[in-house]
Structure 1
């Protein structure tokens, strides 16, 4: 369920931790964490918060979107999965999508299309769906990227989710298929 100020106040109570403070604590814990499992759990939690429009401003304010992008560059596949999941969850918002684009995130998300982790591929397809617009279509709709997405669209017997997401992307962004 999406949150608003009233619902947030009801859920946290008079003495609860404000959302921005809680998210800041998660970011600080991530930065101070030394073991991979703790980092994975924190990024997964942040990615879950990234789906709610109530949190979008806080995520930008706390540089969480940049944290997600940093995770995509890690060798740890779970950090990559949760990082691109966070990007996917928040980039339906145009301001977040613009930040991902300005931060050089498009090549990182495209790179995730070749991940061996199914969720990572799903999240990257979803993120590209939201990221693709008139100002960056040339960067995203390169022939090699479109070919990969077309292969996912044709792979319905292997993965219905890949196929459906890829087909939605093609239907919206690749005009020669219409």
Structure 2
């Protein structure tokens, strides 16, 4: 992420010319394959390539960011896991971040992943939301339902959830916002505990 363009090219070596063609083959394979397992493998490969800044321009040209976003609503966990992981890998780049934020429905799709039963998806979703916070996107990301989820995650025994949620709440939220969300979560918990008591 912090390498110069010249150093990145030097590190890439002789395969620099082949990489755009290979990435295109991966995207084509994803679009044409009928096998779920093969599609998942392609997404995993694309997510790995998304970790390397030398690939950002090619991934943008191939619309891989939008591909990842579209697959956040997939019915199988692995597809969602690789897609949200790929977005995490490339979203620190300002241009990539803008594409994510400007794509209609992207924040809703990412937030929807917060309620997944797959801990890898949840961890990546919290991380991605943190990375996507800008002065312009802050209000949309810090919606009441998201703050309530972050409060709940901050109390979760899963340390990855709680640590990330504490970062979100401490670094990007006003204390008054956090207190209000805590009260709503406490009230919801209290009501559910009461309603779960069997009537005589």
Q: What do you get for the CA RMSD once the two structures are aligned?
A: 1.7
TM-superposition CA deviations, 1:51-105 (whole Å, max 9, x none) = 2211111111110000101111211221111111111111111211110111121
Gaps of at least 5 residues in structure 1 are: none
Looking at structure 2, the residues matched to 18 and 150 of structure 1 have their Cα atoms a distance apart, in angstroms, of 46
Map of 2:8 onto structure 1: 4
Gaps of at least 5 residues in structure 2 are: 179-200
- The answer to whether the aligner puts 1:163 opposite 2:167 as a matched pair is no
Deviation at 1:48, TM superposition (A): 1.1
Looking at structure 2, the residues matched to 54 and 169 of structure 1 have their Cα atoms a distance apart, in angstroms, of 29
Map of 1:123 onto structure 2: 124
* Structure showing greater Rg: 2
Q: How does 1:1-178 map to 2 (within 5 A)?
A: 4-10=8-14, 12=15, 18-104=18-104, 105-155=106-156, 158-176=157-175
Looking at structure 1, the residues matched to 133 and 117 of structure 2 have their Cα atoms a distance apart, in angstroms, of 23
SS at match of 1:4: helix
Looking at structure 2, the residues matched to 51 and 164 of structure 1 have their Cα atoms a distance apart, in angstroms, of 23
Looking at structure 2, the residues matched to 17 and 56 of structure 1 have their Cα atoms a distance apart, in angstroms, of 15
Moved over 2 A (4+): none
SS at match of 2:108: helix
Deviation at 1:49, TM superposition (A): 1.2
Task: Give the alignment's TM-score, normalised by structure 1.
Answer: 0.89
